[in-house]
Every structure is written in structure tokens, then in C-alpha cells.
Amino acid sequence: MKTSIVNLNKVKESSKQFRFDAEYFKPEYLLIENKIKANQYRELRDCISILTDYHANGSYETLRSNVTLLTEKNYAYMVRTVDLERDDYETDVIYVDEHAYNFLSKSKVFGTEVIINKIGNAGKVYIVPPLKQIMTLGMNQFMIRSNKESNNHFLYVYLTCKYGNLQLERRVTGAVPLSIDKESVKSVLIPALNPSFQDFISSIIKEYFDFIGESKKQYKQAEQILLSELDLLDWKTNHYLSFVRNFSDTQSADRIDAEYFQPMYDEVTRAISSSGDFSNLGDLVSVKKCVEPGSEAYQESGLPFLRVSNLSKFGINNDNQKYLSEELYKQLKQHQPQKGEILLSKDATPGIAFYSKDEPGKMIPSGGILRLTVKDSTKILPEYLTLVLDSILVQKQIERDTGGSIINHWLVDHVKSTLIPILPLAKQKQISEKVNDSFCNRDLAKRLLDIAKRGVELAIEENEQSAEKWIKRELDKLGVET
């Protein structure tokens, strides 16, 4: 059992934030606070020029009367959590008209701002990369810009290292849904580190963005090679208001809803079937289902339970991670992912595919994830297949198959019947090399971010000189100059 002995005056101080619960005084939270207070520090409110949210422009009623969302291209809108999670600001962009864009001027996003979730995954911190166009803040988020005595890059690194992260975690209320308020965010303690050290950290984050940018460029090139081979490079989805299909089509598909028969889906499957060589996914891979032990099996620590929300085409994240006991893992270890497998989501957000090129750590995937193994790598390369699964070619087939459901659920039979184009092996290798280069750069970017976080922690625990020496040694190992 963890216990904390806290002076009554300390409890009264916390009442400014209306917190008297034991959770607020967990030992690790108090240790973090005491460590920061041992040296010079400030509150976040003293390090920023602005901390705003979507509601800075008025009430919900005022927003509704001034903001209309558009599907056609106009003024770009909303840096959404989903965009931040998938690091994608060019897909499914939401737009507003000029009036709404000007109305939302207080929450315009130019790039490099720090974003903090207000509810749901409350306290989760992101940084906006350099943007091609000005956007506006999404709902349920705070946006932070630093003042002249600090910088956004440093604040991001600090708020995502253990000292900032645990403080934000402490300030999340236990209400449903979990939330964090503006005053609580402003009260986060920030170590008063030298501007030169903050600038050094900032230079690492700039390198991080450079590697992420190169990674995205290489991945896009791989997608373009694939689509150009199928004459779909400049293809645009068109939603038809009317079209004619035979009754026999509805019988063979066992579907009578018009959405299933949208011509755009036929355009995709036609391009695949006319590519020269193609196959059903089930003929190319073996499919293993995973397991759903139930939420009652979740623990705060142990071995990771991989859910769809933890899966992306770029890797596995630990956001809101759930864990299983060692004993339960031993019972379920036949579901342990293996090197060379493709993890593919079939529920909630179906069609997320990730290739395990390296040996994955111990984990158990949820029932919403399938494990795929390529049967013949001389016919189709796993890196190439993973790109196809993540591409619009398969995403449109999933959209057709799962349409009309309240919760998206991609049936295993539909997964196996998904059409996959099989390009010549030389072209597959060209695409796979681009994908591998993309992942190498993304991995290097992640390492830079981890070095920056640990460097800030060392500056707090020891001193800035020791931290800077350690950072430079780690950067030399990676062959990165700042």
C-alpha cells in the first residue's frame, strides 16, 4: 500500500483547485513536486504568452451560430486529436467559411504550438509540426504559446518527460469523462533552466521535425509508386447521388443499401483487377485471431494488452495503455505477436496495418486485431503488403464492407476476400525500400525525442552541464549534429 503523510496546510493549499482526494497526494506526485521546488522554478502561467481553447470565442450557442463546417475545400479548420495522433494534417481536412475562420481568430494555429487534451485522454501533450497553411484549434484542446523567456519546443519536451507528465496526470480530475481545466494546467511547475539549454533542446526538436518530414515524404513516395502503377495517382473519390445496379448484384452481395454499390468502390476494385496480377488477401496470408480477456482483467501494471487504439501504421503506442498479469499472459501466450507478422485491426478503426520487422516485446493483442503471416514472400513482400493494406485501395474496400454499422466491424470473411494488387517483385522491392527508409527516419526521430526528454530530466536531477554532455554523447552515437 502506498501512503503519504501531508500537512493540513498543504491540503488547504490544494483546495484552490478543489482537491482533497488521496489520489492527488500520491507519493510519486509529491516527490516530483519537491524535486522541482529544490531549485528555481516558475509556474507555467509565467512561461506562456497564451493558453487558449476553442471556447475562447464564446459559448457553444455563439459558436454554433458563427461556425459552419464544410466538406468542400475552403479555409482549413481544426487541428484535431486524431490528426495529432496519426501525424497527418492533409487527410480528411475539415473546412469553414471566411466568416467562421475570422471568428476563430483567437485560436489560430500557425505551427509549433503545444496542444493539451482537455477531456478523454486528458493531459496528453502534443506539438504541432510546421504547417503548410494556417489552421484553427479543435474542440476539447488547449493551445499554448510560450513567451520570450521560454520556447514551445522546450515546453513540449518538458511536459512529456516524467516531471511534466506526472504533474499533468495529477491535475486530471476523476470525473467522467476525465478532464483537466485551464487553471490546473497553468499551475504546472516549470524548472527555470537557462535559455541556452532550452535553445539546445529546441535544436534537437527541430532535427526531430526534419526526420519526421523526410519520413513522411518517403512514405508518400511509396504510396505514389503504388497508385501510379494502377493509374490511380490522381484519382478523386466521387459520391454519386444516383446510379443503376441490377437486382442480381444485391443478391450476390447480400446487401441492399445504396452506399455499398457506390461506383467509386467499383473504380477501385476495377483498377486492382486490371493491374495484371491480383489475389484475395486470404490466399496470400494466414490469419490468426487474437483474444478479448475482458476489462475485468485489466491492471495498472504488468504486460501490455494491445488494443486497436494502441496501433498505428507507424508503430505501437502506449496511450492509455492497459496491462495484463504475468499469469494471464502465460495462459494466452499463443497470441503473442511474432517477428515478421502484420498486425491488422478489424474493429473500431478497421484497416490499420503494422509490420513487425523486429522482434516485438511481450504483449497480447485484443480481439479487434488479427495477426497475418505472408505465405510466400517470393510472391508478395510483407512491407509492400502492409503499405497496400494501409492505402486507399484497401481502405475503400473496408468502407464499403463496414458501411451502415454503428460500430465499425470488419468481418474476417471480408478481410480474407479483400482484393490485393500484386505488382512485379522489382516494383514491390522499390516500394518496400521507400517504406523501410521512412520507418528508419521515423525511428531516428523518436530516439531524438527520447534523448531530449531524458536530457531535461537529467538537468533537473543533476545540472544542465551534465545533461548537455550526456545529450551530445547520445547524439554522436546516432551520428546526428545539432
Mean of pLDDT over the chain: 89
DSSP designation for 237: -
Q: Do 315 and 456 sit in the same domain of this protein?
A: no
Q: Nine-digit cell at 230?
A: 494502377
8 lies in some domain: no
Quote the DSSP letter at residue 137: B
Tell me whether residue 410 is in a domain: yes
* Residues 84, 165: Cα–Cα separation, whole Å: 17
Task: For residues 374 and 470, state if they share a domain.
Answer: no
Are both 347 and 296 inside the same structural domain?
yes
* In a shared domain, residues 39 and 185: yes
49 and 163, same domain (yes or no): yes
Residue 355: which H helix or E strand, with range? Answer: strand 353-355
257 shares its domain with 307: yes
Picking from 50-59, 185-194, 377-386, which range would have the lowest pLDDT averaged per residue? 50-59
Q: Residues 18-29: what's their mean pLDDT?
A: 73
DSSP state of 407: S
How many of the other CB atoms lie within 10 Å of CB of 392?
A: 17
SS (H, E, C) 155-203: HHHHHHCHHHHHHHHHHCECCCCCECCHHHHHCCEEECCCHHHHHHHHH
Q: Tell whether the model's pLDDT for residue 133 goes beyond 70.
A: yes
99: cell is 466568416
- Please say if the pLDDT value at position 168 is more than 80: yes
pLDDT given for residue 195 in this prediction: 95
Residue type for position 307:
R
For range 421-430, the mean pLDDT: 97
Instruction: Note whether 359 and 288 are same-domain residues.
Output: yes
> Does pLDDT of 16 surpass 60?
no
Query: What pLDDT does 6 receive?
Result: 61
DSSP state of 7: -
| 80 has pLDDT over 80 | no
| Contacts of 296 by beta carbon, 8 Å cutoff, 6+ apart | none
pLDDT over 50 at 249, yes or no: yes
Q: How far is CA 200 from CA 91, 191, 194, 205, 313, in A?
A: 33, 15, 10, 9, 31
- The β-bridge partners of 347 are 409
Instruction: Name the pLDDT band for 354 (thresholds 50, 70, 90).
Output: very high
Domain annotation covers residue 361: yes
Grid coordinates representing 258 are: 445504396
Residues 376 and 455 grouped into a single domain: no
Q: What is the mean pLDDT of residues 49-54?
A: 88
- For the chain, the distance separating the N- and C-terminal CA atoms, rounded to the nearest angstrom, is 45
In this structure, the answer to whether residues 167 and 269 fall within a common structural domain is no
| 175-230 per-position pLDDT tens digit | 778 899 999 999 999 999 999 999 999 999 999 999 999 999 999 999 999 999 99
Amino acid at 173: T
Total domains in the chain come to: 3
pLDDT band for position 422 (50/70/90)? very high
Query: Which pLDDT value is given to residue 172?
Result: 92
Contact predicate 197/158, CB 8 Å = no
pLDDT, tens only, 276-295: 899 999 999 999 999 999 98
Q: Are the CB atoms for 370 and 344 separated by under 8 Å?
A: yes
Cα distances (angstroms) measured from residue 396 to each of 222, 259, 300, 342, 393: 18, 12, 37, 20, 6
Lowest mean pLDDT among 104-108, 271-275, 440-444: 104-108
Band of residue 91 on the pLDDT scale cut at 50, 70, 90: low
Q: What DSSP assignment string belongs to 419-450?
A: EEE---HHHHHHHHHHHHHHHHHHHHHHHHHH
CATH value at residue 175 = 3.90.220.20
Residue 382 lies in a domain: yes
Does position 77 have pLDDT exceeding 90, yes or no? no
296-321 pLDDT, tens per residue? 999 988 999 999 989 999 989 887 78
**Do 163 and 241 share a structural domain?**
no
* Helix (H) or strand (E) run with residue 77 in it: strand 75-77
240 or 178, higher pLDDT: 178
Determine, yes or no, domain membership for 473. Answer: yes
Per DSSP, 258 falls in state: G
* Residue 219 lies inside a defined structural domain of this protein: no
Is the pLDDT at 115 greater than 90? The verdict is yes
82-86, 313-317, 343-347, range with greatest mean pLDDT = 343-347
| C-alpha cell, 40 | 528555481
Which domain does 348 fall in, by range? 231-274+276-422
Sign of CA dihedral 442, 445, 451, 457: negative
Question: What pTM was computed for the model?
Answer: 0.88
Instruction: Decide if 197 is inside a domain.
Output: no
Same structural domain for residues 411 and 464?
no
Neighbour tally for 335: CB within 10 Å: 20
DSSP 65: H
Q: Please check whether residues 264 and 124 belong to one and the same domain.
A: no
Describe the strand order of the beta sheet including 303-306 as a list of residue ranges.
Answer: 322-324, 303-306, 364-365
Q: Is residue 1 domain-resident?
A: no
**The pLDDT value given to residue 15:** 45
